[in-house]
Structure 1
Amino acid sequence: MADEIVNVNEFQEFARQALPKMYYDFYAGGAEDEHTLKKNVQEFQRIILLPRVLVDVSNIALSTNILGYTISAPIMIAPTSMHKLAHPEGELATARAAAACNTIMTLSFGSSYSVEEVAASCDAVRFFQLYVYKRRDIAVNLVQRAEKSGYKAIVLTADTPRLGRREADIKNKLIVPQLKNLEGLMSTEVVSVKGSNFEAYANETMDPSLCWRAVPYTCMRCPLNRRVEYRASCHNQF
């Protein structure tokens, strides 16, 4: 392909050519028949920008404010895991790129580098993504470490009570690297995605009972979130 990449789709194609199939499939794939993945793309394609004509656009600004922090455009880096599979510096490089673009990076719970290592890589506003395991002390530990390292918000991931069956990863026998943020907290042995052993490992550690009652326990243990609003009942919806 041409040397100059000019849009996001070309970045994806470049990644497909550059990465081992196992790793590309991990980044690009979804669970089961990938209906949700396809639906996400379709929903973005429905968004249409309506131009405003005969309006002075000689001075425009894309900057916006997220939780009191100004970023250059309404685009942030979402939490995605194991960047080191694609780049030797992994999340350290991603953090520096976010800082250079004056936007916010949300560090994944499954980062290739620890919260402390990423925080030390550059000076920028960062958020931290949190999965809640059955052992609540792990979540508390991570929240406290994130606050101590200067992360400004906790992004609580609540859509994975059970791990999705990622068929491409199973076929590729993906090797899941050690999770740096869990070192010293629980087993971080390398796990192979072959058949059901990775699913069994995830189901053993993730908490399917996670609901709103866990939010104050997890987040109020740290001054990072001094005020948390939640519904007492797990059945109520915001």
Structure 2
Amino acid sequence: MEALEPADFERAARDRLPSDVWDFVQGGSGAERTLAANRARFAECRLRPRTMVDVSVTDQRLTLLGSRLDTPVGIAPMAYHQLFHPEGETATARAAGRAGALMVAGIFASRTLESIAGAATGPLWLQLYWLRRRDALAAVVERAEAAGYRALVLTVDAPRIGRRLRDARNGFAIPAHVRAVNLDPALMAASHRADQGSSGLADHAREQFDPTLTWADLAWLRERTRLPIVLKGILTAEDARLAAEHGADAVVVSNHGGRQLDGALPSLAALPEVAAAAPPNLPVLLDGGVRTGTDVALAVALGARAVLIGRPVLWGLAVDGEDGVARVLDLLKAELDDALALLGRPRLADLDPAAVVPA
């Protein structure tokens, strides 16, 4: 398939995936207002290009938490990549390495932490949910550090799973041949069955996610790792300041891809206040609704150090495995190069709020 933009993979993936898996990856919570608003916010912004600037060379390289990256486009944490391709997260990791991009693996990865690390040639971070079983959480953290992961990303916006109606209507459960192999099977049993009007993922979250998580608990995690700790799910200036006060090393502005609180702020709308509240030594990332290189430029101009993409990666994986993911990343990198040149801001550091007329 000749893909000219990431959306080409969306159309092709829809034809290849079972309908319940398609709804699982595409859907949001509730009436899916936040899911739609994530994209709409990008569409509402306008760019202010400068002219008569030497743009013969563009440069989108950066350093993030000590890692050199060729692009500010990274891969967001997502579970169960083997739903989309037999090689799962190892194919995704190889593609990220080819692009010089960051990959954030999920705690519910369907390949082992060690095999993902073995496939990766670029930096890897590991995403965590706060589990009731602290021993299981600590064991995963220890394995990640031993395998060479460079940061931990704690998802803080999921004390419970949002009401994902597509999954409930489909009675969606993870098929038996796809497993979260880095955790005790007993912890994951509920994800493989679904009651009428519910989903296996929602049932599993009710059983295993610890809703008592508070800022004080970060000390427990800090005591168990030397890795940087990134908090994902920050949407307000208040929480950005608290993250800094409690020792976070970075934050991700995120509404979980529109899959948690329906009606929450679009990520791009929340970004300026979070970026303004974060101290200079606290990198701010963004996910949610990024689909083009121009979207990446907008996010960086409004305060993001980098962006993480989710659904487009899974579209590429479903269509053509490693090569599909690599092509999605290459398209976004090429689009970002075009945006930098046409904006008259050839380096990432040249992007600032003056480049954008906000929505």
Q: Shared topology, TM-score over 0.5?
A: yes
Unaligned runs of 5+ in 2: 230-242, 248-276, 279-359
**Aligned position for 2:187:** 187
CA positional deviation for 1:73 = 1.5
Identity %: 35
**Aligned position for 1:155:** 153
Alpha carbons of 1:6 and 1:139: their partners in 2 closer, same or farther (altered >3 Å)? same
**Aligned position for 1:220:** 223
Say whether the 8 Å CA contact 2:171–2:198 is kept in structure 1.
Answer: no
**Aligned position for 2:340:** none
CA positional deviation for 1:219 = 3.1
CA positional deviation for 1:95 = 0.1
Cα deviation code 1:77-125 (max 9, x no counterpart): 0111111111111111000000000011000111111211211123321
CA positional deviation for 1:155 = 0.7
d(CA) in 2 for partners of 1:112, 1:48? 40
d(CA) in 2 for partners of 1:203, 1:8? 34
Say whether the 8 Å CA contact 1:29–1:166 is kept in structure 2.
Answer: yes
**Aligned position for 1:82:** 80
1:1-238 equivalent positions in 2, closer than 5 A? 3-176=1-174, 177-183=178-184, 186-189=186-189, 191-194=192-195, 195-196=197-198, 198=200, 199-225=202-228, 230-231=245-246
Say whether the 8 Å CA contact 1:105–1:126 is kept in structure 2.
Answer: yes
CA positional deviation for 1:59 = 1.4
The AA in structure 2 aligned to 1:111 is A
d(CA) in 2 for partners of 1:96, 1:179? 20
d(CA) in 2 for partners of 1:11, 1:42? 20
The AA in structure 1 aligned to 2:152 is I
Say whether the 8 Å CA contact 2:173–2:199 is kept in structure 1.
Answer: no
CA positional deviation for 1:225 = 4.2
The AA in structure 1 aligned to 2:213 is L
Say whether the 8 Å CA contact 2:75–2:103 is kept in structure 1.
Answer: yes
CA positional deviation for 1:230 = 4.2
Say whether the 8 Å CA contact 2:97–2:121 is kept in structure 1.
Answer: yes
Alpha carbons of 1:187 and 1:231: their partners in 2 closer, same or farther (altered >3 Å)? closer
The AA in structure 2 aligned to 1:181 is N
d(CA) in 1 for partners of 2:54, 2:244? 42
d(CA) in 2 for partners of 1:188, 1:168? 21
Cα deviation code 1:107-166 (max 9, x no counterpart): 011111121121112332100001111122222111111100000001110000011121
The AA in structure 1 aligned to 2:192 is V
Normalising to structure 2: TM-score of the pair?
0.60
Identify which range, 62-71 or 196-205, moves more after superposition.
Answer: 196-205
Unaligned runs of 5+ in 1: none
Say whether the 8 Å CA contact 2:24–2:166 is kept in structure 1.
Answer: yes
Identify which range, 11-20 or 97-106, moves more after superposition.
Answer: 11-20
d(CA) in 2 for partners of 1:47, 1:14? 28
d(CA) in 2 for partners of 1:219, 1:85? 33
d(CA) in 2 for partners of 1:170, 1:200? 10
Q: Which has the higher helix share?
A: 2
CA positional deviation for 1:20 = 1.1
Say whether the 8 Å CA contact 2:70–2:99 is kept in structure 1.
Answer: yes
> What is the RMSD computed on CA atoms of the aligned residues?
2.2
Cα deviation code 1:11-60 (max 9, x no counterpart): 11111111111111111111121111111111222344432211011111
Say whether the 8 Å CA contact 1:161–1:207 is kept in structure 2.
Answer: yes
Identify which range, 212-221 or 126-135, moves more after superposition.
Answer: 212-221
- Number of residue-to-residue matches in the alignment: 230
Equivalent residue of 1:70, what SS? strand
The AA in structure 2 aligned to 1:211 is T
Say whether the 8 Å CA contact 2:79–2:109 is kept in structure 1.
Answer: yes
d(CA) in 2 for partners of 1:75, 1:14? 22
